[in-house]
A and B are shown apart, each in its own frame.
Chain A
Amino acid sequence: MNQGMKVITLGMALMSSVAFAGNGTTAEHIEAATAAYKQVAKDTGYQWTVTVKTIKAAQKALDAGDDQSARQLAHEAMALVEATRTQAKVESDNWKMRLPK
């Protein structure tokens, strides 16, 4: 992931972490991100490759006992899910603007 993309993704993660703030266990946060991932895939018909990788990384960190990293990765995954949903929403109309005139 390049630097710019990291900044955007982490920014989104921080925003979404506000929504999570302190509620539930890290395992629950990972579960929530997984459920949101599945739901957005169902709603939009597609997904980002990085989202599932981030969820897996969160689970791996949790299994290794690194709760802080796991929680941060779960929030990052949730942010990626939200970004996917936003992209799908924006693009449902914007694609038409790319047609050659």
Chain B
Amino acid sequence: MKKIISQVAFGLLGLSVSAAVVAGPSEDRAAFQKFYENRFPDTPVADFQNGVYSILPAAREQWEAIEEFPPYELSIERGEEIYNKTFANGMSLASCFGDDGAVREKYPHWDKDRGMVVTMELAINECLEANGEKPLKYKKGAMADVSAFMSYNSRGQILNVEIPSDDPRALAAYEMGKEQWYTKRGQLNFACADCHMHTAGMLYRADTVSPGFGHATSWPVFRAKWQEMGTLHRRFAGCHNNIRANPYKAQGEEYRNLEYFVSYMSNGLEFNGPAARK
């Protein structure tokens, strides 16, 4: 009898795992968001856009004080200058993204013609190169500044990433990002989900781990640890280094697809970047 019960239980476990794996993106997102709502019942859903400060009242007060004189302010100003600088051919970034660059809500998106995920930072460099200018480095510096300016002007826009159902390549890109999120890597054997999902809110040394829901809203950020601005892909690389896994290339397929997944999981939240973080 015991054997039969254990076989049935094992079968049911298998079914539940398979059901989770074959679930589509919208089911994934519902389960993902529900996970955080259950884990942090005192946090209003819309507040997850504030990262770790959505679950850490003690640090929030300090963070709000920092945001009164934000350390990213100069970055926005530098970004505006670069944004409006005229290229050698008479064009500018404004020629690609409009006068104010408030286009955050369009990224990341699936480009059906090219069969790939396009992020805002990638689009910035593609605009530069299409106009005969040198591309910017993806992790910090001028790229983070331009991104900060465009994100600032995009504040309040809602994340609404789409996985087009008529293109299986888009679903494959999403699945690749999803696998990255849940797969353990590096000598320390950590997955993104281990820290930012299953132990979110807990202390790793002196730092509370942020919830993954809302991870895509606030970039670029000024991190106290960096003492400068950085993009989301810089942070991805930093996380990989922390777990002793070689990082992927910024704006390579792996990180673009991870951004696609992470952003899709946060659909419904507001873009509120740039931001200050520890």
Residues of chain A having any CB pair with chain B under 8 Å: 5, 41, 45-50, 52, 80, 83, 87, 91, 94-101
> Quick check: A95 and B197 within 8 Å, CB to CB?
no
Query: How far is the CB of A81 from the nearest CB of chain B, in Å?
Result: 12
Stretch in contact with the other chain, from B28-36, B43-51, B105-113: B28-36
Contacting A at CB under 8 A, from B1-51, are: 16-17, 20-21, 23, 28, 31-32, 34-35
> Quick check: B184 and A91 within 8 Å, CB to CB?
yes
User: Closest 9 A-B residue pairs measured CB to CB?
Assistant: A100-B35, A99-B20, A95-B183, A95-B182, A47-B246, A100-B31, A98-B182, A96-B21, A49-B244
* 0/1 string, B166-187, CB within 8 A of A gives 1: 0000000000000100111111
A contact face: mostly helix, strand, loop, or mixed: helix
Q: Considering the complex, give the chain A residue whose CB is closest to the CB of B247.
A: A49
B86: interface (CB < 8 Å) = no
Taking CB atoms, residues of chain B closer than 8 Å to A41 are: 246
B275: interface (CB < 8 Å) = no
Number of A-B contacts (CB under 8 A): 65
Query: How far is the CB of B161 from the nearest CB of chain A, in Å?
Result: 19
> Quick check: B186 and A49 within 8 Å, CB to CB?
yes
B95: interface (CB < 8 Å) = no
Query: How far is the CB of A47 from the nearest CB of chain B, in Å?
Result: 4
Query: How far is the CB of A94 from the nearest CB of chain B, in Å?
Result: 8
Q: Considering the complex, give the chain B residue whose CB is closest to the CB of A99.
A: B20
> Quick check: B20 and A48 within 8 Å, CB to CB?
no
B52: interface (CB < 8 Å) = no
Contacting A at CB under 8 A, from B169-222, are: 179, 182-189, 191, 193-194, 197-198
Taking CB atoms, residues of chain B closer than 8 Å to A98 are: 182, 191, 193-194, 197-198
Most chain B CB within a 10 A radius of its CB, from A5, A52, A96: A96
B245: interface (CB < 8 Å) = yes
Q: Give Cα A68–Cα B72 distance, bound, in whole angstroms.
A: 52
Q: A49-B245, A91-B183, A95-B191 are in contact. List 7 more A-B contacts (CB 8 A).
A: A41-B246, A48-B186, A48-B187, A94-B184, A95-B183, A96-B182, A99-B20
> Given contacts A49-B186, A91-B183, is CB(A101)–CB(B244) below 8 Å?
no
Query: How far is the CB of A33 from the nearest CB of chain B, in Å?
Result: 16
Q: Give Cα A5–Cα B24 distance, bound, in whole angstroms.
A: 38
Taking CB atoms, residues of chain B closer than 8 Å to A83 are: 187
> Quick check: A99 and B241 within 8 Å, CB to CB?
no
> Quick check: B241 and A49 within 8 Å, CB to CB?
yes
Most chain B CB within a 10 A radius of its CB, from A5, A47, A50, A99: A99
Q: Considering the complex, give the chain A residue whose CB is closest to the CB of B35.
A: A100
Q: Give Cα A94–Cα B26 distance, bound, in whole angstroms.
A: 22
Q: Give Cα A88–Cα B191 distance, bound, in whole angstroms.
A: 12
Q: Considering the complex, give the chain A residue whose CB is closest to the CB of B186.
A: A48
